[in-house]
């Protein structure tokens, strides 16, 4: 029951992250289309790349500033700890989450045994190891 709800929540978060990524790409194409008649194609592409670099740089500075401002104590590990952290990460950094999800999907597609081991490890968090 909890596992199903967690998977549903993660699927919804992945869909939101994918929508955010599509929006970013569409905005980049729109900026290129607006600039292409005024500049050459190479110039418009350079401006789009510069805008993207500026946004990423500002996001990095803001993230570094937040990390410095609040140092969180180490949380207790429980069964829902990883799911809560995943949802927080999706809300805070949707583009990074899309990249991580794509990387995890590619790894799982190429090596299903590794994906099964990781899933088993996440599900057995509360159980003590055998002696």
Distance CA 29, CA 33 (A): 6
Residue numbers of the chain with a pLDDT score lower than 70: 1-3, 68-80, 82, 114-115, 118-119, 121-131
**97 Cβ contact partners less than 8 Å away, ≥ 6 residues apart:** 13, 14, 17, 89, 90
> What is the dihedral sign for C-alpha 28, 9, 58, 104?
negative
Q: What is the reported pLDDT for 58? A: 82
- The whole-model pTM stands at 0.42
């Amino acid at each position: 029951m909890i596992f199903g709800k967690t998977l549903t929540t993660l699927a919804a978060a992945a869909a939101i992250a994918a929508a955010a990524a599509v929006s970013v790409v569409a905005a980049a194409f729109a900026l290129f289309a607006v600039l292409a008649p005024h500049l050459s194609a190479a110039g418009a592409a350079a401006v789009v790349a510069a805008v993207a670099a500026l946004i990423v740089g500002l996001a990095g500075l803001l993230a570094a500033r937040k990390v410095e401002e609040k140092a969180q104590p180490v949380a207790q590990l429980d069964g829902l700890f990883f799911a809560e952290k995943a949802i927080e990460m999706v809300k805070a950094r949707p583009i990074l989450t899309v990249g991580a999800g794509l990387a995890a999907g590619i790894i799982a597609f190429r090596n299903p045994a590794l994906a099964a081991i990781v899933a088993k490890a996440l599900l057995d968090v509360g159980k003590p190891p055998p002696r």
